[in-house]
Structure formats: structure tokens, C-alpha cells
Amino acid sequence: MNLQSSTKSFGGTQSIYSHASEACNCDMKFAVYLPPEDKGGKGTFPVLYWLSGLTCTEENFITKAGAQRIAAELGVVIVAPDTSPRGPKVPDDPDEAYDFGLGAGFYVNASQDPWSEHYNMYDYIARELPTLVSTAFPVDAARSGIFGHSMGGHGALTIHLKNPEIFKTCSAFSPIVAPSQVPWGIKALSNYLGPDEAAWAEHDASVLVSRIPSKTNILIDQGTADNFLKEQLKPEIFAAAADRAGQSYTLRMQDGYDHSYYFIASFVEDHVRWHMERL
């Protein structure tokens, strides 16, 4: 790992690292916030993984969400990775669209050429990054949660639902909950995974929620003034699927909030507290 930057924040340290990723076959960056040392019990901290949305890098959350304050207060590490593989060898959307390719890894392992060589964000987030973080930082991996925004909300939900023993708690802001049924998701999944919709279902939270045997516990905040609510997000699909499956969840429609980091900043303390009460 190479330290890219390190800055004191609320008594702790906000850093960015790069490293050679085996899953993505390129250098990847992630941000990590370490709370003040004296907030650790027995020298280790619980850890939350934050997954950002379309167009984001590892920097958006750490500069805009203001989560370091509550992470410092409660004593939790927050890891925020980039949203796709990067670098000169990594292919992008031929049209350079914002919703596919660079900045839009969608947290799946691509099976289709030319994406499969690098676009393996599922393995990166669910396997490689937690192993690296547990080795390199003072975290208690048994107390890991995951949360995210929009495409990253999709990532958090699906990775939690597929790995509830690793990521024990999950919350999301404005998540894509049914990628198989909305334009962003259909574009990404058909390109990364090919035409077989059975493969898509493995990364669709509204399908996965009916498949897992254990009871889960999920918090979703969705702004009512979100421009993407009706076409891309559709939280009612997840709610109906979870209800049918008898899975518990909390969906809060937040009046007047939009899709921006102003929304995330307004409720990120709630989310961090929610995870910490359960981890």
C-alpha cells in the first residue's frame, strides 16, 4: 500500500491509499478514516465500508459527507473505496457516459469482454478490501458494516445480502434497489454480465432479499425531491419484495431532500449511530 495523503480531521486521521488490486488487475485507491486512538477499545475499532455512487471516486464521501465527526465521537473506522477500476489499461464506456465504465463499476464481477479483465468490484469490495483493511488497520473485522449512496446503495444492499456474516449491518441513501428493472441497472448489468437475467438477479437487492435465509436488518433513507426517484431508484420495489419475504427493514422517505451529498450529510450521523448500535 502507498499512502497518497494523510490529514488530521476531528482528532483522527483521514488518509488515502493506493495499492495493486488483484481483483481489479490495476491500482486502486481507497480512503480510510481512523478515529482518535483513545476512542478504541482494546486497540481496535469497528469498521464501516462506504460505497459511493456514479461518477464518484474515493474522495467524494470524505470531503462532503462530514462523517468524520461522528466517526471520531463513536470510535469507528470508515473505509471509502473508489467506484471502479481506473488507469490507462482500463476500458471506459465507448460514449464516455457517466453511468457505465469508469466511475460506474456497479459492484459486480464482469463476465463479458472487454470488462471482465478489470471490472470486478464485487470481489474487490466483498473479499480483497476487507482482507487488506483487517491486515493494515486496527479494526475488529467481526464488527463490520456497509453503507452507500445510489449505485453504492445498490452495492451495499447486495453485498450485505450476499455476505451477511461479513457485513453484518447495512444502510443506504437513495439506493438503486432493483437494477434489473431500471435504466441505469439494465445498461450496466447487460454490459458487464451479458444478456442472461439470471446473472443479473445475483446482483439485484429486490431479488436477493427474498432468497437469504437469515433475518436481516436494513435502513434506507430516500429523499422525496430526488430527481432519480421515479425512474431509477423505486424503493417501493424493494419494500414490496422484503415484505413478501418477511424480511425486516426500515425505509424512511425524507421530505424535500434530493439526491445530493447535502442529503447524505444531513443523515449520515443517524446512519453511523444505527450501525454502531447493532455492531
Contacting positions for a second copy (CB under 8 A): 7-11, 14, 63-64, 66, 68-69, 223, 225, 256-258, 260-263, 265-266
Q: How far is the CB of 268 from a second copy (least distance, A)?
A: 10
> Do 170 and 216 contact (CB within 8 A), yes or no?
yes
Nearer to a second copy, 11 or 91 (CB): 11
C-alpha cell at 113: 469482454
Cell numbers 469508469 label which residue? 102
Q: Identify residue 175 by its one-letter amino acid code.
A: P
Task: Mark whether 243 is an active-site residue.
Answer: no
Q: How far is the CB of 44 from a second copy (least distance, A)?
A: 22
Nearer to a second copy, 181 or 260 (CB): 260
* Active-site annotation holder among 99, 204, 221, 226: 226
* Active-site annotation holder among 150, 171, 174, 206: 150
> Do 5 and 62 contact (CB within 8 A), yes or no?
no
Beta-bridge mates of residue 221:
173, 252
Q: How far is the CB of 164 from a second copy (least distance, A)?
A: 32
> Do 238 and 209 contact (CB within 8 A), yes or no?
yes
Question: What is the β-pairing status of strands 45-51 and 139-149?
Answer: parallel
Task: Mark whether 266 is an active-site residue.
Answer: no
Nearer to a second copy, 98 or 262 (CB): 262
CB environment 184-213: b (16+ within 10 A), e (fewer): bbebbbbbbbeeeeebbbbbbbbbbbeeee
Q: How far is the CB of 224 from a second copy (least distance, A)?
A: 10
Task: Mark whether 226 is an active-site residue.
Answer: yes
> Do 147 and 271 contact (CB within 8 A), yes or no?
yes
Nearer to a second copy, 25 or 254 (CB): 254
CA pair distance 153, 266, nearest whole angstrom: 16
Q: Which residues are catalytic?
A: 150, 226, 259
